[in-house]
Amino acid sequence: MAALLLISMSCTQKETNPLLKDFTTPHHTPPFDLIKTGDYIPAFDVSIEAAKKEIEQIASSAEAPDFQNTIVALDAAGEKLGRVSAIFFNLNSANTNDEMQKIAQEVSPKLTEFSNSIYMNPQLFERVKQVYENKANLNLNPEQTTLLEDTWKSFINGGANLEGEAKERFKAISMELSGLGLKFEENLLAETNDFELLVTDEKDLAGLPESVKEAAVAAAKEKGKEGWLFTLHAPSYGPFLKYADNRDLREKMYRAYNSRCNRANDRNNGEIIRQITALQLEKAKIMGYPTYADYALTNRMASSPAEVNTFLQQLLEASHSQALKEKKEVEEFARKNGFTGKLQRWDWAYYSNKLKQEKYALDDEMLKPYFKLENVQRGVFDLANTLYGLTFKEVNNIPKYHEDVQTFEVYDRDGSFLSVLYTDFFPRASKSGGAWMTEFLSQHVRDGKDVRPQVSLVMNFSKPTANKPSLLTFDEVTTLLHEFGHSLHGMLSRNTYNGTGGTNVYRDFVELPSQIMENWALEKEWLDKWAVHYETGEKIPQEYIEKIRKSANFLSGYLSDRQLSFGMVDMAWHTITAPVTDSIVDFERKAMQPTEIFPDVEGTCFSTAFGHIFGGGYAAGYYSYKWAEVLDADAFSVFKKNGIFDAATAEAFRKNILEKGGSEHPMTLYVRFRGQKPTVDALLERSGLK
């Protein structure tokens, strides 16, 4: 009777639930206009059951296991579930609400249980094992070999060899971790949204540019308030710390931002960090590894914590002395300009920006009129056209999940369709902070048809006001280039399997396609093509471009140290050999101490808001940003040598890196493009640290 009831429910859901129907939208994009929040749980339940049946069919097949009926079949299994998951979790980051967050907590254990049921299915594992042990006789191409090896590793790392109590404990830990990561992110979003600084006395706005004040007025009106409203979202927080003369208010903003989820309330993430890291350690030990980092790094270019720590230390030795010199220079400048006392963290952006203005006569406010968002986007699209022949056509017939979203069809140089691209640029209470690229559908081949990807770019740029369009800072221009580089990795993918396409690569390789794009922001030839004043149409002055280039390494030591500190605290949390029972703050400060140049600030904590590693999948992987900087500096040196728009170099990068996804080992792909392995020299030279 229960089985009949499930079948009846499934049929009904498929008839009425838009998530379970075949999408009839252009390019089979998600029908966001039809999806209701209440559709998600039934869609998950039905698609999980369907995926379980597919897995069981593979595991119980009477045919002898081979690459096609086992490895390829596994790669294709559960595609509807993957589709539903991508839609839901992408929106849970970009356009969430309380109900969606509750759904995430409810379905995450179900998804983890489903994942465990795959990797711990003894029949299925035996089939995978037989294919893997026979790989020498299968005559596989490189992509097939990679898929087989990755599938094997996934089973091993997923606990396939575990038995009895260890197996059950591994499953339980996986379930707990899925919920804790979500809770961490929910707390962080709530804390970011919770703080508001309402200024009612105009004297307290001294130093702030008109554009910042105008945005603050708009933010206040949106909340039905009079005055100027400042928040902890990047377009508001960053300029306030950089420009506000009122030191007390800078301190208030700084403390609020850097104490997120470290306050005495129900959003404190300290205990969640203890639980996550203790469970990760237990999981690693069950698998036979001394630390979680040892376990996680089995699928990375850097193969051990020792290799990562040596790498971080090498860069720290190159940057820290420079960071100390930079701090001294800023302190002397501040004193020369009337500052007394000790330079604190909430003073750094303020005085370093004024020093930059003095040294280079350059400031974000000078540049922003030339970086109108629409123009920057056009410039980025044009760069993709110049390098790779891509064209972008904005369309209005593809459903959107929010009114801010724009949709584009992307075409290759021969006119063939490549991808759908969604752009979502402005902050809102329902969106997580930061910037990211994601996919609603990844590229793969199914039944002989090349299924093209559906890629999304999500940012948090300043919104247009009544009087001004969205004008970006130079850092925001590089952010857009960065995330667009990730999107190229997804859009240009030319692979056969779900598991090897697009951004399905080692964590410490995935940032190469994104970070290399940032280099063009410093190139006159590119800026000359599109950067014009939003009011006059005047091209960005050549002297401004020269100032950008000359100031490129301003505070390079400090900025390198800052990134290294994040990598070091990440590695510290994931190389513990016993659960942390002492103060979270003390643990963090000890890990970051080699990079520190400022006094500690009571009540602040970075870890409790470190979403990348505790909610975003970068656990024991944050070093990859610096690792990929080495790769991108080395790779861009080829463009610099041959010409930044050189067609042959761009084609080599496309064919060997962007199109290949994770179809081969990343170092194999890199050497095929570059002709040699990378060294840190190009990065140190570019940063002025050598």
DSSP 607-658: GGG-HHHHTSS-TTTTTHHHHHHHHHHHHHHHHHHH-TT-HHHHHHHIIIII
- Collapsing DSSP states into helix, strand and coil, what is residue 532? strand
The single-letter DSSP state of residue 121 is: -
Sort residue 104 into left (φ over 0), alpha (ψ -120 to 50) or beta. Answer: alpha
Number of Cβ within 10 Å of residue 502's Cβ equals 27
CA dihedral 507, 509, 511, 516 (to 10 degrees): 180
The letter for the amino acid at 538 is E
Please count the helices (runs of H) and the strands (runs of E) in the chain: 28, 9
Find out whether 59 and 124 touch, Cβ atoms under 8 Å: yes
- Residues 6 or more apart in contact with residue 124 via CB below 8 angstroms: 55, 58, 59, 74, 118
If you average pLDDT over every residue of the chain, what do you get? 95
Question: Two tokens at 406?
Answer: 């724009």
Distance of alpha carbon 412 from alpha carbon 390, whole angstroms: 5
Tokens 């299994």 correspond to 77
Distance of alpha carbon 232 from alpha carbon 239, whole angstroms: 11
CA 486 to chain centre: 9
Find out whether 402 and 438 touch, Cβ atoms under 8 Å: no
The single-letter DSSP state of residue 365 is: H
What residues are paired with 199 via a beta bridge? 228
Find out whether 482 and 447 touch, Cβ atoms under 8 Å: no
Tokens 């001394």 correspond to 290
Catalytic residue among 79, 326, 483, 659: 483
Distance of alpha carbon 107 from alpha carbon 113, whole angstroms: 10
pTM: 0.94
φ, ψ dihedrals at 600, nearest 5°: -65, 155
Q: What is the pLDDT of residues 109-126, one digit of tens each?
A: 999 999 999 999 999 999
Q: Please report the pLDDT score of residue 4 as a whole number.
A: 38
Find out whether 237 and 257 touch, Cβ atoms under 8 Å: yes
CA angle 656, 151, 139 (to 5 degrees): 65
Q: Please report the pLDDT score of residue 6 as a whole number.
A: 42
What residues are paired with 395 via a beta bridge? 407
| Radius of gyration from C-alpha coordinates of the chain | 26
The single-letter DSSP state of residue 200 is: -
The letter for the amino acid at 298 is T
Q: Give, in order, the Cα–Cα distances in Å from 690 to each of 34, 238, 557, 587, 682.
A: 56, 30, 11, 32, 9
Number of Cβ within 10 Å of residue 392's Cβ equals 20
The crossing angle, in degrees rounded to 10, of helices 373-388 and 474-491 is 40
- Residues 6 or more apart in contact with residue 643 via CB below 8 angstroms: 649
φ, ψ dihedrals at 456, nearest 5°: -130, 135
Taking Cα atoms as reference points, which of 268, 251, 250, 109 lies closest to residue 188? 268
pLDDT-flagged residues of the chain (< 70) = 1-15
Q: Please report the pLDDT score of residue 1 as a whole number.
A: 40
CA 585 to chain centre: 25
Q: Please report the pLDDT score of residue 60 as a whole number.
A: 97
Q: Please report the pLDDT score of residue 185 as a whole number.
A: 97
Distance of alpha carbon 672 from alpha carbon 552, whole angstroms: 30
Taking Cα atoms as reference points, which of 425, 375, 377 lies closest to residue 533? 375
Query: Does the domain formed by 369-500+513-552 have CATH 1.10.510.10?
Result: no
- Collapsing DSSP states into helix, strand and coil, what is residue 403? coil
What DSSP letter does each residue of 115-157 carry, written as one string?
HHHHHT-HHHHHHHHHHHHTGGGS---HHHHHHHHHHHHHHHH
Q: Please report the pLDDT score of residue 690 as a whole number.
A: 79
In which element (H, E) is residue 482 found? Answer: helix 474-491
Q: What is the pLDDT of residues 554-573, one digit of tens each?
A: 999 999 999 999 999 999 99
The CATH 1.10.1370.40 portion of the chain extends over 2-161, 369-500+513-552
Q: Please report the pLDDT score of residue 204 as a whole number.
A: 98
Find out whether 626 and 570 touch, Cβ atoms under 8 Å: no
- Collapsing DSSP states into helix, strand and coil, what is residue 197? strand
CA torsion sign for 630, 635, 636, 640 is positive
Q: Let me know if 525 is a catalytic residue.
A: no
Topology (CATH level 3) of domain 2-161: Neurolysin; domain 3 (1.10.1370)
Q: What is the pLDDT of residues 477-519, one digit of tens each?
A: 999 999 999 999 999 999 999 999 999 999 999 999 999 999 9
